[in-house]
Chain A
Amino acid sequence: MDLAALKTQLKNFVQSMFEEGVLDNQFSQIQALQDSTNPNFVEEVITLFCNDAERIINEINRNLGYQNVDFSNLDSYVHQLKGSSSSIGANRLKLACANLRQASDERNKEGCLQALQLITCEYCLLRRKFQALLHLERSIVELETNQK
């Protein structure tokens, strides 16, 4: 595939994510931050995000596994995840966090588990798409360097 086509593909792909609500405007800002001084910004942020999100989701999972759930602890994790998601523009994931936060406020363990499931789903979807996105990006970069 040639460079232009790849770029278009990437653009369309991201656009579809916007339309699905998976990503929001914040992601555009992140993309805009990538420039010559920061050529791998998007990739770095995405990688950082995925690692962190997985860690948090695992923690939440673990916490909910206990007999007596520590809801305040849970709340702080949710808060973190929400913050990260919003910073990267992961819209649906951020909304899923709000669900969990509410269930946690209500001290509703069952509700929390359900919300966590939704979060996990959204995250997996997001991660898949991010991986595709990064793959496209790397291909583009490769082509560009080759061309130089």
Chain B
Amino acid sequence: MTMEEKMGGSNREDEAMDRFPVGMRVLAVDDDPICLKVLGTLLLKCQYQVTTTNQAISALKMLRENRNRYDLVISDVNMPDMDGFKLLELVGLEMDLPVIMLSAHSDTKLVMKGITHGACDYLLKPVRIEELKNIWQHVVRRKKPDSKDRVNALNQDKASGGIGEAVQTSTSCSDQKFNKKRKDQNEDEEDDGEDNEHENDDPSTQKKPRVVWSVELHRKFVAAVNHLGLDKAVPKKILDLMNVEGLTRENVASHLQKYRLYLKRLSSVATQQANMVAALGGKDPSYLRMGSLDGFGDFRTLTGSGRLSSASLSSYQPSGMFGRLNSSAALNLRGISSGVIQQGHPQTLSNSINGRGKIQPVGLPANQNQNGTLFQGIPTSIELNQLSQNKSANHFGELNPVNNPNVFGVATNFPDARMTVGSSSSSLSTPSGSPLLLQANTQQAQHSGAIGNQSSLGVASLNQESFDMGVHGFSNFVDNGRCHENWQNTVQLSSFPSNSLSTCEAFSHEQLHTNNLQESISWRSSHLSDNPIDLSASMANAGLEDSRGDMQCQISPSNNVIHNIDYAAKQQWGENSSFAGADSLVSGAPYVQHLEAGKLAFNTKLRSNEDFLFEQRKPQNEFSQNNFETLDIISSSMIKPEQYNETGMMEGELGYDAFPLGSCI
């Protein structure tokens, strides 16, 4: 039951702004009806405009519908439908709204958790009116650093182009695809897509300009961070490197903070995954990569454009298989992956895979810009996976950290918002398909190690199997058929064009994610140097941008790309992070090189990702699974689009549900 009460006078932003803090719009979320009622009334007494709901899911929905409708969110920690911290992360990443946590418990650990998840404040129940009278300060604090209109307009312009289209496409695709498990997230995604449209349409009417971290922007950011080295990355330098007009140091600083958190999460997931992968034999590094890509992309979506990302991702789902793939594959990249895969130049992919380095840019159809790019990247990743099984693992770990931030963002979109790598298998189903991809990819990469075929298989299986399954081994995947085919094709360069495509898709997603991650992590970029990661990164960054298409292309040229994607995908799953995927990609070091895409800083990272991947995988078996799923998804999508309609990818079913990967996570 959701109670929504709009209280307080006019809802016009103008009024709110003029009389601030009077009229500040607060969204209160608490499952306890008494607390909610008392809180709502207290807030009204403070002269705020209050909206209350007792369900976190509906709160998210409302926020996604119009992020400008609220200034502040107050949420309880213990809620039945969603963990308060999760909601907190999602809101922080997607909408960049200040969130205050509420709880009856004052455990230091809980408070610390709130802080690390990004809460601006932590209040104890019963809440007193004196405390509520001051909460407006958090809104002001947030607003200050944003360069507001300038940056916003900048981002919006970028996003508008790509997203507009993407949104439309994705919205329709996502509708079908989304994993039922992540139903709410699907809705969110859709909402996001729609939201993006709104945003894109009226950038000028934004009352509260925020820096919108589009995929493109994020890519630049990640590239800058990677260039500097994660440890040495300071906002000022990043800002200089990025050379984006209208962006302030504060914008970069806050984004960097989120990114770091994201990476951290990814790393823990990646570690798990890496372990998993290692154990599995790293069949399908590509999967891992794919995951990472995906995750990464998602991340971008989440963090960057928030809604935009989703939209972009959705848009990726372009036509055909890929479209399906995207949705089902839970590759949050949706938009991206679909695009890429569809392009389906399976052959190209296969070639790339076989050739390890011969990946030619698949002539991804222009349907979805992004798609094409992704696709290309994917094959590469796959190859990479094969080659660098171990590396992948390592990378994976790497990716994770990087991915985390991104993935996280992405994940948020999806059901689980945080597709922490390696987190429960269920995460795969999380909407953030991308993250899953990452994970899956990572895993795959790891698993497959040297076996091309296996990689694909592994990937496939991963996808099919929920992440939980971790690296179920390629055989599973293969059995699945859907994925199986795809993967095999891709990996083995075989004739299965679809595989490559799927892979690509996965990668794209991952790449996106991974890119994000990778860029930040700048690890092993040495391996990747090529770009595979770039693709993902760019993709992730671009969110919905068309650049994704570019990214993908980049990937395809190099095997690495595919690999990267894996990582990306894997990463993502492992930890909400597409980043994981990046890792996987990285592992494909040899391939990574191939990824000429280079665009993706991601590629570079992929190499490092390999290591990272493995590391990352460790912690999460589930994560690994996710990766596979991702790959699976991709492949499945390629081959059997219809398969994606299934929702239950995760848990052992490589179903290409909209986001199999999501579920993993």
Contacts and interface: CB of A to CB of B under 8 A. Distances in A.
Tell me, yes or no, whether A binds B.
yes
B38 interface: yes
Q: In this complex, which of B31, B34, B37, B80 has the most chain A Cβ atoms within 10 angstroms of its Cβ?
A: B34
B33 A48 contact: yes
A48 B37 contact: yes
Interface in A81-120: 82-84, 86-89
B115 to A, nearest CB: 20
A79 B126 contact: no
A55 to B, nearest CB: 10
Interface string A30-65: 100100001001001100110010000000000000
Interface in A126-143: none
A52 B78 contact: no
Contacts of B35: 83-84, 87
Nearest to B77: A79
Given A76-B78, A80-B78, A87 B32 contact: yes
B29 to A, nearest CB: 13
Given A29-B129, A83-B125, A89-B126, A52 B45 contact: no
Contact of B33 (A26, A52, A76, A79): A52
Contacts of A29: 42, 126, 128-129
Contact of A86 (B42, B45, B80, B126): B126
A52 B38 CA distance: 14
B268 to A, nearest CB: 23
Which of the four size classes fits the interface of chain B? 20 to 34
A41 B537 CA distance: 53
B78 A45 contact: no
A87 B41 contact: no
Interface in B15-67: 31-35, 37-39, 41-42, 45
B6 interface: no
Given A82-B104, A83-B104, A86-B125, A33 B34 contact: no
B236 interface: no
B37 A52 contact: no
A30 B38 contact: yes
Contacts of B103: 83
Q: Is the interface of B mostly helix, strand, loop or mixed?
A: mixed
B105 interface: yes
B105 A84 contact: no
Contacts of B33: 48, 52
A68 to B, nearest CB: 22
Given A33-B41, A82-B104, A26 B126 contact: yes
Contacts of A87: 32, 34-35, 38-39, 125-127
Nearest to B30: A83
B42 A52 contact: no
A44 B78 contact: no
Contacts of B125: 83, 86-87
Given A48-B37, A79-B78, A86-B125, A33 B45 contact: yes
B652 to A, nearest CB: 26
Contacts of B126: 26, 29, 86-89
Central interface residue in A29, A30, A52, by most chain B CB within 10 Å: A29
Nearest to A75: B78
Given A26-B126, A80-B78, A45 B38 contact: yes
A44 B105 contact: no
A29 to B, nearest CB: 6
Residue from the set B103, B126, B127, B128 with the largest chain A CB neighbour count within 10 Å: B126
B34 A88 contact: yes
Interface in B365-382: none
Contacts of B42: 29, 33
A38 B43 CA distance: 13
A98 B132 CA distance: 25
Contacts of B39: 87
Interface in B80-105: 80, 103-105
Given A33-B45, A76-B78, A89-B126, A84 B32 contact: yes
A127 to B, nearest CB: 14
B110 to A, nearest CB: 11
A29 B41 CA distance: 11
* Highest count of chain A CB atoms <10 Å: which of B31, B38, B39: B38
Contacts of A38: 41
Contacts of B38: 30, 33, 45, 87-88
Contacts of B31: 80
Interface centre among B31, B35, B105, B128 (most CB of A within 10 A): B35
B37 A45 contact: yes
**Most chain B CB within a 10 A radius of its CB, from A48, A52, A83, A89:** A83
A83 B129 contact: no
A32 to B, nearest CB: 8
B279 to A, nearest CB: 30
A52 B34 contact: yes
Nearest to B103: A83
A45 B34 contact: yes
A44 B236 CA distance: 54
Contacts of A41: 41
Given A26-B126, A87-B126, A80 B37 contact: no
A87 B105 CA distance: 13
Nearest to B129: A29
A88 B41 CA distance: 13
Contacts of B128: 26, 29
Contacts of A79: 78, 104-105
A83 B84 CA distance: 15
Contacts of A80: 31-32, 78
A78 to B, nearest CB: 10
Nearest to A47: B34
Interface in B456-507: none
Contacts of B105: 79
Contacts of A52: 32-34
A7 to B, nearest CB: 22
Contacts of A45: 34, 37-38
A101 to B, nearest CB: 9
Interface string A5-43: 000000000000000000000100110010000100100
A4 B78 CA distance: 44
B450 to A, nearest CB: 44
A38 B38 CA distance: 12
Given A83-B76, A83-B103, 5 more contacts: A29-B129, A76-B80, A83-B125, A87-B38, A88-B126
Interface of B: 31-35, 37-39, 41-42, 45, 76, 78, 80, 103-105, 125-129
Interface of A: 26, 29-30, 33, 38, 41, 44-45, 48-49, 52, 76, 79-80, 82-84, 86-89
Interchain residue pairs A-B with the least CB separation, the first 6: A83-B104, A86-B126, A87-B35, A84-B34, A26-B126, A87-B126
